A and B are shown apart, each in its own frame.
Chain A
Amino acid sequence: MRAALHAEWTKLRTVRGWVVALAVAAVAVVGLGLLAGGQGSCGRNGPQSECVLPVGPGGQEVTDSFTFVHRSLTGDGSITVRLNGLTGVLPRKPGPGGPADSTGPQVAEGDPGDGEPGLAPWAKGGLIVKDGTRPGSTYAAIMLTGAHGVRMQHDYVHDRAGPPVPATTARWLRLTRAGQTITGQESPDGTAWTTVGTVRLPGLPATAQVGAFATSPQYTWVAGGGRGVGGVTGGPSQATATFDSLGLQGTAPDPAWMRTLVGGGAPGQPEEVGAGFRVAGSGDIAPAVAGISGIGTTISQTLIGTFAGLILVVVVATMTMTAEYRRGMIRTTVAAVPRRGRVLLAKAVVLGGTAFGLGVPAAAVVIFVGQRMLRDRGVYVHPASTATEVRLVVGTGLLLAGAAVLALALGTVLRRGFTAVVAGIVVVVLPYLLAMSVLPAEPAQWLLRVTPAAAFALQQSAVSHPQVDHFPIPVNGYFPLSPWAGLAVLAGWTALTLGLAVLSLRRRDV
């Protein structure tokens, strides 16, 4: 086997055209990645314009902006309110067709504004206890949402479901503090209470801000079947929560209620909380997301050139086999190594290893340099953990390696260079390109689930959170499969085709 490997490596490195094409593949991955990405405004308009997102207690970047009617509470205590439903405003519908195939937010009556009346599914209104009004500080909240019923959430990433009541119902909510423990309860009538969740906030100081809040995230319409990025429009939405019977028990040092726009920068104003007071807010209290419904981009943006490198790798890998058939050199090869499975295995190891060996450094360079260049151009790039960066780098190498071996196997089964190259590109690269450009979300996700292009999921760095409408479609950087499941799909196809190739090479006369 060592001799066969050595022979195949010598074969690959001694055809100048192949070596050049593979070098160009690496250059394409880096070059296209550095060219793409566009311009942003972060840090471009003076010292105040840097894009800095608040950082939550878990260290992750968060969105923390809402309207807060609050008061100090020192030590233990509780706050109770009756929430008489949510109403809201969504951004204007794109075109006359309307949001026929959007995920269907509940449309509530009232508040006609600049846009359409309606509620974003994750519009929120309810009670919150928080370490001051600084964005990113620790909190716990119980709330009614646009389409997800009653929820208890804390510290941005934690979410627990209560009863799935519609946003139009009146609901009693209560938060109780005992030391660092916060209990959220809800009730249909203010008498029979149900606990939704009990959470610990280790960082909550003795004096915290408690009160009523409302907020509503960026909303996205999907138009005309949602073809690519062009069919998607969105904007800020607003939610208005109507409260009464606000009651605070415990030591409240402040004389009055204040209304503060958390994340808005302006100082708070005194507030009367009479019967039927309203809190209207826009924003979110959630992990920060990239893409259409968030801000900025992810480091995956820098790997956009992978498809070009992949095309070249597929061409070379196919030709290493089909050129042998074309010239009759396969007879020389098989005469030298009569165990034909071994010939294919050696070729697969050499090609896969080479593709991996050029993909890993190319991805490492383009991720390292590319995200700095994006930031220099004023684009906000969501930071990724080292583990994610390593997975993207290694994953790009694995994607190229898997595609190379698949192309080799296709070349062996089909024998004709042109046919095999077209087949390789059609199954590996084309589904990705279609999904990223013209296809509606559903067929795009289907393609990225069943074709070898599923392995592009290895390059996803956007994180999905169930409590954020991050619009998880391929154009927005979200793949339908997890990274390793995507790799498994590619590996499965590759193993199957390689198996067929071994059988075909063994059975046929050459």
Chain B
Amino acid sequence: MNETSIVVSGLRKRFGPTLALDGMSFTVGPGQVTGFAGPNGAGKSTTMRIVLGLDAPDEGSALVGGRPYRSLPCPLRVVGSLLDAGALQPGRTARNHLLWLAHSQGLTAARVDQVLEQAGLTGVARRRAGGFSLGMRQRLGIAAAMLGDPPVLMLDEPFNGMDPEGIVWIRGFLRALAAEGRAVLLSTHLMSELQDTADHVVLVGRGRVLADRTMPELLARHGSLERAYLELTRDAVEFRAAGSPEASR
């Protein structure tokens, strides 16, 4: 098993009457950005929570670098993640938010200042995170994911609330991380951004994988990632407005 990878196999998870995951299996390899896309309710967030050991699966397993997340002694040095940019104590400054995370991994304040610089937050490091815009919180979340200099990154909707400059920055940043040999899993609804950023796409719907292809394959077959998405997830969408492209076909 590669050190820098996420391997998800046969995940099942039921929340009451809802089957959230129904045999979800895929691999995120090193050295590339893997897009993670699918309709709302497809099971993307549940899968990522299971990878991070936050939720327990009913069946199946998720391994990071060959090990279950919960067995990692300093997990942020193996996997950096951004699930919810709003998960902050609003009274704490940006720097102090990163500081307690750093201390939890045996890292020092010097590393905190490095990631603040990387995320472009040095100027606002001593401001309360509660006053941050969504875009700034996203940058803070990315800085937190980078704290442990991890070989694996997992980001959920990092483009949300970002201004165009921020979007361009993330795109370049993720490409650079993949070029360094890291495995990057990027979950988003923005197909155009994904098309420009990802090398590989895992399309999911109704709790399982619908397509697991390289970007060139998808583009060759469907023309654009957006068309690929709409065609592949046609039968897996739970909510669709009348007059939407798929409904009018």
- Interface stretch of the complex, out of A4-12, A163-171, A190-198: A4-12
Does A509 make an interface contact (CB < 8 A)? Answer: yes
A15 to B81, CA, bound (A): 24
Say yes or no: A328-B86 contact (C-beta < 8 A), given A3-B105, A15-B92, A335-B81: yes
Q: Once the chains are docked, how many angstroms separate the CA of A509 from the CA of B71?
A: 17
CB of A510 within 8 A of CB of B87, answer no
Number of contact residues on B: which range applies? Answer: 20 to 34
Query: Quick one: given A336-B101, A338-B75, are A331 and B91 in contact (CB under 8 Å)?
Result: no
For A4, A335, A509, the residue with the greatest tally of chain B CB atoms inside 10 Å of its CB is A335
Among A3, A15, A336, A339, the one with the most B-chain Cβ atoms within 10 Å of its Cβ is A336
Distance of A406 Cα from B104 Cα, bound (Å): 24
Which residues of A lie under 8 Å from residue B214 when comparing CB positions?
none
Complex interface residues of chain B between 108 and 160 (CB less than 8 A to chain A):
144
Task: Report the Cα distance A8→B104, complex, angstroms.
Answer: 8
Q: Nearest Cβ in chain A — how far from B103, in angstroms?
A: 4
- Tell me how many residue pairs across A and B have CB atoms closer than 8 Å: 83
Q: What residues of chain A lie closer than 8 Å to B92, measured between beta carbons?
A: 11, 14-15
Contact A339 B100 (CB under 8 A): no
Which residues in window 20-41 of B have CB below 8 A to A? none
With A14-B93, A327-B88 as contacts: A335 and B103 at CB distance below 8 Å? no
CA distance A329 to B97 in the complex (A): 11
B90 contacts the other chain (CB 8 A): yes
Complex contact B53–A332 (CB within 8 A): no
Inter-subunit contact B100/A10 (CB<8 Å): yes
A contacts with B: majority SS: helix
A334 within 8 A of B: yes
Chain B, residue nearest A507 (CB): B56
The minimal Cβ–Cβ distance linking B45 to chain A, given in whole angstroms, is 11
Known: A328-B84, A509-B56. A15 touches B106 (CB 8 A): no
User: Which residues of A have CB within 8 Å of B56?
Assistant: 509
Task: Decide if B198 is an interface residue (CB 8 Å cutoff).
Answer: no
**Are A15 and B91 in contact, with the CB atoms below 8 A?**
yes
Structural contact, B76 and A335, CB atoms closer than 8 A = yes
Contact between chains at B99 and A17 (CB < 8 Å): no
21 A-B residue pairs with CB within 8 Å: A3-B74, A3-B105, A6-B103, A7-B103, A14-B92, A15-B91, A324-B89, A327-B88, A328-B84, A328-B87, A329-B89, A331-B54, A332-B144, A334-B53, A335-B81, A336-B76, A337-B104, A338-B53, A338-B71, A509-B54, A509-B56
User: 5 shortest A-B CB distances, which residue pairs?
Assistant: A7-B104, A14-B96, A10-B100, A509-B55, A328-B87
